[in-house]
Amino acid sequence: MSSTSYGTYGCKCKKACASILLLWLSICPMAHAHKSESHSLIVANSKAWKPFSYLSPDGEPKGILIDFWKEYAANNQIDVQFLLLDWDASLQAVKEGKADFHGGLVYSPERAKYMDFGAVIMPIQTKLYVNKDVLSVDIRSVLTGEMTLPIGVVKGSYESEFVQTNYPNAPIAEYINNDSMIQAAVDKKVLYFVADLQVANFYMATTPGAGMFVPTISLYSKDLRIAAGMHSATSILEVSRAFEKVIDTDRERILTRWSVVKTVYPLYLFPIAIFIMAVATLYHIFALKRMVALRTRQLTIANQQLLEMTLTDSLTKLYNRRHLIEQLALLNHLKRNLTVMVFDIDDFKSINDRYGHLAGDRAIVAIAEAAKSMTDDRMTLARIGGEEFALVTSSLSEREALNFANMLCKAVYDQPVILGGQAIHLSISLGCAYYPEFTHIVSLQDADELMYQGKSEGKNRAVFQVITDCQLQPALRQVN
């Protein structure tokens, strides 16, 4: 009887042990999977926010913020995967739970509705950048919306939010990322854009043509912070504490990696022989870089001289017709306070016939110098052909334009030119068209017609006309 009981008991024990073993085997993979899942984070950011976050040509995540997160992942044995999208899409990814964290962004009340902000990574400065061609335009009139010149911003960025909040009347043009915004600026589709200082410096150093923009107004200084989405299973406090250790220990090393051109190698790891070879190699690279830099400077100077030749009249050293037309096209965007003048030398053919073509050239140079002495950097003066000149500017009021036309005619006549051994008083006929407000494309035609009207009325005079869209036959004012 006891033997039978013992056998039954032993069988039951074996079955119980087998059940426990099966239960343990089924739980372990789940626990392991849960552990792996809890140590994996998806971090979103922009794919074109150089140097903070971007995709390299081979599709690899790169940038300052990427390096911070990689350091965090290595220090905490966490698998961090990057989801780099256009800026607005990166915010949506966090908002919709497609990403656990945003890699770094500026705090705003709107963003705080769906993200918890954590550790500060680094400060940034943001500025308004302006094309050099429109530096004469009052920037306040652009920010208040008086001038219909759009300001380029990245859609979904804090820059866009800041401009719309603080300058609600300023016209903006939104682009999906910094790459497309900077390219639009280079193509002169926008003459203003807002960007972080580090971002602008990076693009200006690497994008041909981006150097035509200069910073004018510092808009704000803010901190870049990490942020967790509401769907994230990982606490922002936990990640922030670990992230602050990375910032304390590795911040300078990471930032230095992005602020110097040369890579500083840890020479103490190499034997003496390799050290000597490395020094020789670095010296060769340094010498090569110096030579390349010298050739680059020479090429830049040559290109600048070539550009000046294509934009400058060789006789008078004034701008040529091509450059003036380009400037007029830019000023057409302002839609107000545009002055266009066209003038030429009276009886120039008789000067050539009587004194010769060399004397005619001296007369042209004399007129150019007299006119140039009255202009400033806000005005574009050009020789547009033969004895004909033109001037465009947006810096004059109606009264100032009228007075300028008057004084220019007088200045030319009051400065005699020596031709054939005689002091000759040259004169010009000048047409000045002033556009206080306009919606059509302004050309040289109106001013040219006014100039010929001055010739028909006796020469040595200016004819001034205010032209508006609503005036079909504006009144003329003649200056003798």
Tokens of 12: 């039951």
Of 213, 53, 27, 202, give the one whose Cα is nearest residue 122.
53
- 62-89 exposure pattern, b = at least 16 Cβ within 10 A, e = fewer: bbbbbbbbebbbeebebebebbbbbbbb
Interatomic CA distance for residues 91 and 229, integer angstroms: 9
Q: Annotated catalytic, 174?
A: no
Q: At how many degrees (to 10) do helices 64-76 and 236-259 cross?
A: 130
Main-chain dihedrals φ then ψ at residue 300, nearest 5 degrees: -60, -45
Of 185, 148, 475, give the one whose Cα is nearest residue 337.
148
Instruction: Return the amino acid letter for 124.
Output: I
CA torsion, ordered 266, 271, 273, 276, to nearest 10 deg: 20
Tokens of 258: 């992005």
The label of the residue with tokens 């510092």 reads 218
H runs (alpha helix) in 195-347: 197-206, 236-259, 272-311, 321-331
**CB neighbours of 88 closer than 8 A, spacing ≥ 6?**
155, 156, 157, 176
Please check whether residue 380 is in contact with residue 402, taking contact to mean a CB–CB distance below 8 angstroms.
no
Interatomic CA distance for residues 396 and 406, integer angstroms: 14
Question: Which of 96, 238, 244, 387 is labelled catalytic?
Answer: 387
Instruction: Return the amino acid letter for 475.
Output: A
Q: Count CB neighbours of 345 within 10 A.
A: 22
Catalytic residues: 387
